[in-house]
Amino acid sequence: MKGHVAGALRWRDLPAALWHWLRRGAASLEDFRAAFARSLDLDPAVAGEVRLFGSGRAALHAFTASLDLPPGSEVLLPGYTCVVVPNVFMHLGLAVRYVDIARDDFNPTPDAISEAISGATRLVVVPHNFGLVTEGLDELRIQHPDVVFVEDAAHAWGSADAIGRRVGTLGHAAFFSFEYSKPLTTGIGGALVIHDAATRERFAARMPALRAPSTGTVLRQLLTLCWHRLTMSLPRPALAALTTLLRAPSRMLGVVAKTPDSEVAGDTQPDYRAGLHPLSAAIGLMQARRFDAIHALRRAQAADFDALLTNLPGWEWPVRAPGAVLLRYPLLLPDAASRDAALAALEAEGIVGGTWFDDVVHPRGSRRFSYTAGDCPQGERAARTVLNLPLGLHARLSASQRAAVRAIAERHGGQLR
């Protein structure tokens, strides 16, 4: 299968990470932190610029809480995001408002963000969805000096802006996710980057004490990570048989680590004080050391899709800056029926077509905290018609699969509506 998970993880990274952890112990956290900082062109010696957390949402929660925003403060979010982002602000008791994405992009424009900022706005989450960079942060910071701009870099490890600066270093702060489907994975994990020196000093005085994950938690994360990696190795018949065999016992034993349905619904909070285990950090380290090769592969695969899908009526994809490193290759199809038919056809060829994000507040069925239907028509359109093609180590397509992708696009393209 060619899919979207564990896209930078090799099997040999796992025993190498275990050996590193056995030798270095807790120091594996610092080893990974330093390597991740270098991948962003940051100096690892700068105290507090990069911090590791048990999840990206925990990093965002800790940073926002440290700001001590006054009552009545408002947060702006993109009208195309994951539910864990607005849930952070719901749990902190902050009001949120959504800014629609552009028709030809998966992010809001800087002008749309600027126009949406009100007298109550104190924080703006600036997305880089799929690794596509939202430019113009320098101007936004100058125009709105009382607003804190936080980059959602969960999809964008390695992407750079028009002048070559890495995503995660453009705003006051940024958060990254190391979840299974992200460009670099530790199973579950995340990082906070505070690039603004004054903000970094403020955060240092308010940094929460993080709890080390339990052995059981780490084991579940590791087993789930191995399962996801395995799904990228097995042929479809073997994977289907193994899935059927293991589904019931894995549920009974509770060995799958995933976001609980109750958290997606907004009924429960995650553990925002969770830290990253040193073994998980060692797994991340094995990938962070190879960042140049990982990013180069994704750029080459995206360029190949560009060439493969050129001159197709009905299939749209956003203009991509040269510095972008895509998490997935996103397309907009004419309508939901065309998208669903294309997904089924890709699946028949052993290619997993994704539907991130399938709602303005992904996933479909979430509480959509403070969102009202119709607020973001372009985000809603994207949610209905988006199709992702896989990138990464395990997404290399055969010649027959490449031909099939082109044929599927021609068959299910239709006309723009």
Closest to 191 in 3D by CA, of 36, 39, 87: 36
Contacts made by residues 174-177, CB under 8 angstroms, sequence distance 24+? 174/150, 175/56, 175/57, 175/59, 175/60, 175/63, 175/150, 175/151, 176/56, 176/59, 177/55, 177/56, 177/57
Alpha carbon distance 184, 289 (integer Å)? 11
- Residue 182 annotated to the active site: yes
Residue with tokens 């000093």: 201
Residue 24 backbone zone (phi > 0: left; psi -120 to 50: alpha; other: beta): alpha
Alpha carbon distance 378, 132 (integer Å)? 16
Task: Report the DSSP pairing between strands 173-177 and 329-332.
Answer: unpaired
Quote the DSSP letter at residue 208: P
Alpha carbon distance 183, 270 (integer Å)? 22
Alpha carbon distance 386, 22 (integer Å)? 43
Of 91, 165, 182, 290, the catalytic one is: 182
Residue 262 backbone zone (phi > 0: left; psi -120 to 50: alpha; other: beta): alpha
**CA atoms within a 13 Å half-sphere pointing along the CA-CB vector of 45:** 0
> What are the residue numbers of the active site?
182
